[in-house]
Amino acid sequence: MEAGETRSGRIWSWLDRRVGLADLEKLARKKEIPVHRHSIWYYLGGMTLFLFLVQVSTGILLLLYYRPSAEEAYESIQFLMAEVQFGWLVRSIHSWAANLMIFTLFVHLFSVLLLKAYRPPREITWFSGVGLLGLAMGFGFTGYLLPWNELAYFATKVGTEITGAVPLIGPFAGRLLRGGDEVTGATLTRFYGIHVAILPAAAVALLGLHLYLVQRHGMSLPPGVERQGGPRGLMPFVPNFLLRDIVGWLSALAILAVLAAYLPAELGKKADPFLSAPAGIKPEWYFMFMFQTLKYLPSHILGIEGEIVGIIGFGLGGLFLLLIPVLDRRTARGEPGRLFTWIGIAIIVYMIVFTYLGYTASATK
Ligand code: HEM
């Protein structure tokens, strides 16, 4: 025991002299989490991070068998599901964790919005978060096509058509994404490159910035808690909060295992570009509120095509979301203000209602 301790002590000091472990330890010990009635929301970012790591590890495993071409993609996944040991499980976890990650990401975003954690000096933490949201949606959009099945093929056709309708840059962006005028094997190869190289590289960089800023500024206090005289106390991050985080992660893993085992990811029929689109083409649930909104718009608004007005609207909506820390001047000055709380609630209600309509009122148009 004694010898083991000194050996580990020796390894520690060897590493410390070379990489500065003691500094890292000091940093970890310094981190404290305020305890108050909204502390539960501090777990959501860590949960999203955990699910992102599940995506990276299962994604690497999928890469061992996946082949990114129109001729082989579908067959390689069929082989993975039927022949490779636990292949179906890895694919199902990748698919479920993607959905769960986007869900926790939205909950994290809205909790941060309603608790006004974007106040100075955390504006850049917010900006990097909105960037991560964009990347997560990009992961979802590009990953959906990779099995090269019928549903994904036609959903991508619709999705890239919408991209193509964006004023000015649309036609170029649409062709760049598709690798031509149609969704073909070239699109699949591009989406694959974006999904496994470009987005992961961008996500790691942006996530690094996000986590560095969280570490630098510490956890924010909601204005309401601040006005009531501050938190009840402070909890050390290591080990108290981290252990609680880990309980959450293990629970998420258990939920993932149950979902993947009982509702494994489906594959459907192989894409056939020569067939017409089957009924009920739907995007992933997190695009549904936008998809449904576009359906409800009249064909022309003030002489402009309704769909284009909708797309411009979503673009401006995204810009508005990004700029909230700059636009909410009252909160930045430390004055109480309800406007952005109501805007946040309105966005949540709008997203829920239109997603619901997307699944229930699909025959309207
Ligand atoms: C892949 C996506 C993301 C990951 C992995 C992530 C991770 C984290 C983590 C671990 C924290 C510290 C714990 C916590 O407050 O929950 C955090 C804090 C924060 N995040 Fe995120 N985040 C992501 C996306 C976002 C998004 C979409 C936004 C908003 C647009 C955002 C804004 C913030 C802000 C403002 C804080 C500081 C909270 C505070 O100080 O109280 N993040 N994030």
Residue 122, Cβ density class (10 Å: 0-12 exposed, 13-18 middle, ≥19 buried): buried
State mean pLDDT over 170-193: 96
Summarised one tens digit per residue, pLDDT across range 188-202 is 999 999 999 999 999
What is the chain's alpha carbon radius of gyration, rounded to the nearest angstrom? 23
Check residue 361 and give its pLDDT: 85
What number does the ligand 1 atom closest to the CA of 135 have?
1
46 in ligand 1 pocket by Cβ < 6 Å? yes
Q: Given pLDDT bands bounded at 50, 70 and 90, which one contains residue 206?
A: very high
104 in ligand 1 pocket by Cβ < 6 Å? no
How far is the C-alpha of 324 from the C-alpha of 332, rounded, in Å? 10
Which residue from 39, 44, 47, 48 has its CB within 8 A of the most atoms of ligand 1, so it is best to mutate? 48
pTM listed for this prediction: 0.94
Q: Which residue has the higher pLDDT, 167 or 50?
A: 50
- Span from the CA of 235 to the centroid of ligand 1 (angstroms): 19
Residue with CA closest to ligand 1 atom 16: 45
Q: What is the separation, in whole angstroms, between the first and last Cα of the chain?
A: 73
Summarised one tens digit per residue, pLDDT across range 1-18 is 445 678 999 999 999 999
Paired tokens of 146: 């990779």
Please name every residue paired with 304 in a beta bridge, in sequence order, or none if there are none.
301
pLDDT at residue 22 is higher than 90: yes
State mean pLDDT over 163-189: 94
Check residue 3 and give its pLDDT: 52
